[in-house]
Amino acid sequence: MSRARANVEHSIGVIKQAFGFQKVRYRALAKNLHRLEVTAALANLFMVRRLLAV
């Protein structure tokens, strides 16, 4: 359980620190969801960037 939580917490930390997703910018839920999905995809690429560079 703690291993899964650590993975989730790490990815949320990357989203917050590297991409500046601290506060919700828009009032519309669709825009917020779209921004979160794009940011999550970029965070996934950011975390595996060393594997992709090989």
Mean pLDDT for 35-48 is 86
Alpha-carbon distance of 25 to 41, in angstroms, equals: 18
Alpha-carbon distance of 54 to 3, in angstroms, equals: 27
Mean pLDDT for 45-51 is 86
The pLDDT value given to residue 2: 85
DSSP class per residue in 1-50: -HHHHHHHHHHHHHHHHHH---S---SSHHHHHHHHHHHHHHHHHHHTHH
